[in-house]
A and B are shown apart, each in its own frame.
Chain A
Amino acid sequence: MKQKRKAFSGIGQLIIPLVALSLLILFNLFRDPGFFSIGVAVNSSGNKVLSGNLISVIDSASELAIISMGMTLVTAACGGQDISVGAVGSIAGAVFVKVLLGASSINGGIVVLGIIACCLATIAFKLFNGALVAVFRIQPMIATLILYSCGRSIAYWISGSATPQLNSPIISAMGMTIPGIPVPTPIFAVILVGLLLALLFKLTNTSLYTQTVGINQGAARLNGINPILIKLLSFVILGVCVAVAAVIGVCRMGNLSHKTLLVDIEMDAILAVAIGGNNLGGGKFRISGSILGAYIIQMLTTTLYAMNVPPVNVKAYKAVVIVIIVVAGSPVVKSKVTAMWNRLRSGGSTAAVQKGVRG
């Protein structure tokens, strides 16, 4: 057990996602040298905005990147995933829209109020999940299955109609671009959430406690950590992430479609966490890995769309690439590669065993 890989310390688990991302970038550059060129367009509101595939990828991955951050923490603390993020996101969207449409007109104050209400709602629902997982020790997948299956009905019940519309320059500024700033607003949301998390890690022991609880809950308790609180905390953080992602999703479209808001994002989020080299069984984690994972997934999607792959084949292509990335990051392949690396470096060790098992 002493061969704890030197080769994988430092940026460690980020090697695989970084290599995958670089390969995707190289592939695109080879295929179309202009793939990453960034242009300036004037959008329908008359604002100058940046355009191009790179901007598309970073912009479109925003919701996924944000939710992946929260998912990473839940995964690390609970050793399982929350599959209700999409459904709870739909509820969050419904609450946000409800607040905004309840006001006489949409202004900055009411939007802030809407976001706060939306956060409170997601936190409440995530605490429900968290309580099932942390207090009642139900496996996360099962505990979150409840909201996964009924969340979108609850969203419909809250919003009261199928596709409520939000028409306001504030909404389009939040979902697309703020006049005068050419970068899509969702990108700033990712940066904001990332910074808030970084600050949280800096000012508190969230990271150490979460890893400790995820690796060895019993030992964590014997060292004075309350595993239940830490797990609940991870769900609260995920709740905030989901709320932000939901607001972005609603603002992008300018309406709430409870059936499709953040649809299937749970699977992509889990995938992002896995591609980022995080152990889905909990324990050590790296948020940056998951963010990379999110951008890899989006880069892949955009690449396939840019290549004009027939719609029937998109999923299959995506699956093949993802299988390759995940397998490359698997412990078996990693240890094989590490062993090869060490052999190359040290010129080989000798192990000779003679055996004479006689009958």
Chain B
Amino acid sequence: MQNDAVLTMRGICKRFPGTMALNHVDFTLRKGEIHALMGENGAGKSTLIKVLDAQNAGISTVYQEITLCPNLTVAENMFIGRDPGKSVHWKEYEKRAAAILDGLGIPARPRQELSRCSLAVQQMVAIARAVDMKCKVLILDEPTSSLDEKEVEMLFKLMRDLRARGVGIIFVTHFLEQVYEVSDRITVLRNGELVGEYAVADLPQVELVAKMMGKDLNDLADLEQVGQKSLGGQEVVYDARGLSSSESRPFDFSIRCGEVNGFTGLLGSGRSESVRAVFGADRVTGGKVQIKGKTVKISKPHDAMTHGIGYLPEDRKRDGIIADLSVRENIILALQVMKGFFHPMSRSQMEKFADEYIQALQIKTASQDTPIKSLSGGNQQKVILARWLLTHPDYLILDEPTRGIDVGTKLEIQKLVLKLAEENMSVTFISSEIEEMLRVCSRLIVMRDRKIVGELSGDDLTQGHVMKTIAGGEQ
């Protein structure tokens, strides 16, 4: 078996100030296998990948966050920086790009500007680039976190093709089901240490989660019942009629005190755009909004904030974190803005708030002063969550709060949402994972093609119903 190895790592250590990111980790990748690398945030997956990526020869990495150039075309992105020194024949490259895109079924034209493609397609272009470079080892870091199901299937097909051709694939993901769908072997890391390497068939899903979390997972049962779903009270906290923005068509929407509802639909169905309109994130073009029965005007985020609305954006890196600022500053930002330009908080006040929420949400950070950009994705998300909780909103909008973060944190966030609802906060929860939505939302608003096409609650809240509504063709 060892002879098949395309990559062997033994006793890898990597130390960062204050932490041991990797502690004597072994890893073996065999020819023609898909090898899932699993672990919670901060377990050392990304570090291991970066150590690998630094080795260069024959290894291609597609990162979770797109690392292409958005203002170049698809073909340029696929071929730029290749064959340095040779003259460039873009005509030929465009042809080759077209062939590859076609072969992989990626809906993009070679001459299209990359920024005009959806996030999902951009991701696939990145993979196409890596694939075309004829690598022996392909690392996919959270490749599916922004893809919808159809696209995920496409990617899996591609991964299986590559496996058949003898490429070794390292697959990093948070989606357990996906691991079981495509992977052959699993390596589990925890706190920078190797937990073990397993064949997929030998490791039931429950045990995998248990190993990742380092617990005996009786908690897994909790996955099904993170808490009591909240239907909410009678008072309508937020009500919009015919609300529209530059990015969304007119829609009606309301939420009651203590209710948790959600927008669902395929990527691009308009669910994010709808909540952005609620928060005034895009230019609001029409509609009537009432907060607790009073008509108000929300045309920019600051208006929404003063009316007690908080908004955790979909794209954490682009819209959420202030990368270079410290964890503390990131936590207090929204509250500080609400207090006003002429009322800066004292340093001790900031420290107190930051400490409080770092503990409450168990944010893993070296200190308050650590720049948020050096935290793991899940912990960054917790910081943004803390930022909004600190403002004590009546109504909190969470757009993909669990995207790209580990199972444990996911669970924590779900529990937190239900707890907040219990405390009478209204929450709108958006997630690409329907199971997750079903677990926390008492009412689901289903969108298709930028329109609300259905609303499900009570007994209708089943996976089948949601799927059917999303798919359309109402009986």
Contacts and interface: CB of A to CB of B under 8 A. Distances in A.
A3 interface: yes
Contacts of A1: 373-374
Interface residues of A, number: 41
Contacts of B176: none
Contact of B322 (A202, A206, A216, A353): A216
Contact of B13 (A211, A221, A350, A358): A350
Contacts of B137: 357
A308 B324 CA distance: 44
Given A1-B373, A6-B17, A225 B51 contact: no
B13 A351 contact: yes
Interface centre among B7, B322, B323, B329 (most CB of A within 10 A): B322
Contact of B10 (A4, A218, A352): A352
Given A215-B322, A218-B318, A223 B333 contact: yes
A236 to B, nearest CB: 14
Interface string B279-322: 10100000000000000000011100100000101000011111
Contacts of B321: 216, 219
B221 interface: no
A357 B318 CA distance: 37
A358 B7 CA distance: 9
A125 interface: no
B14 A349 contact: yes
B14 A224 contact: no
Contact of A351 (B12, B17, B324, B373): B12
A96 interface: no
Contacts of A226: 300, 302
Nearest to B337: A224
Contacts of B7: 355-357
Given A2-B19, A4-B370, A284 B324 contact: yes
A9 B9 CA distance: 34
B87 interface: no
A104 interface: no
B301 A224 contact: yes
A353 B301 contact: no
A4 B374 contact: yes
A355 B301 contact: no
Contacts of B14: 349, 351
A48 B371 CA distance: 51
Contacts of A4: 17, 366, 370-371, 373-374
A137 interface: no
A333 B302 CA distance: 41
Interface of chain B: mostly helix, strand, loop or mixed: mixed
Interface in A244-294: 283-284
Interface centre among A2, A204, A350, A352 (most CB of B within 10 A): A2
B235 to A, nearest CB: 25
B12 A215 contact: no
Nearest to B4: A358
Given A5-B17, A6-B17, A219 B319 contact: yes
A216 B344 contact: no
Nearest to B8: A354
A352 B371 CA distance: 29
B344 A356 contact: no
A246 B5 CA distance: 71
A358 B14 CA distance: 26
A222 interface: yes
Interface in A303-355: 342, 346, 349-355
Interface string B330-349: 00011011100110100000
A212 interface: yes
Given A203-B344, A355-B8, A283 B336 contact: no
Nearest to B15: A349
Contact of B374 (A2, A204, A346): A2
Interface in B153-169: none
B360 interface: no
B174 to A, nearest CB: 19
Interface in B345-388: 366, 369-371, 373-374, 387
A177 B416 CA distance: 65
A295 interface: no
Contacts of A216: 318-319, 321-323
A208 interface: yes
29 contacts: A2-B374, A3-B16, A4-B370, A4-B371, A202-B344, A204-B341, A205-B336, A208-B333, A208-B344, A211-B325, A215-B323, A216-B322, A219-B321, A221-B281, A222-B281, A222-B311, A222-B319, A223-B301, A224-B305, A224-B334, A224-B337, A283-B324, A284-B324, A342-B15, A346-B15, A349-B14, A353-B9, A357-B7, A358-B31
Interface of B: 5-19, 21, 31, 47, 51-52, 55, 57-58, 136-137, 279, 281, 300-302, 305, 311, 313, 318-325, 329, 333-334, 336-338, 341-342, 344, 366, 369-371, 373-374, 387
Given A215-B322, A216-B323, A351-B51, 16 more contacts: A3-B374, A6-B18, A204-B341, A208-B329, A211-B322, A215-B324, A218-B318, A218-B319, A219-B319, A223-B387, A224-B337, A225-B337, A346-B15, A352-B12, A357-B7, A358-B6
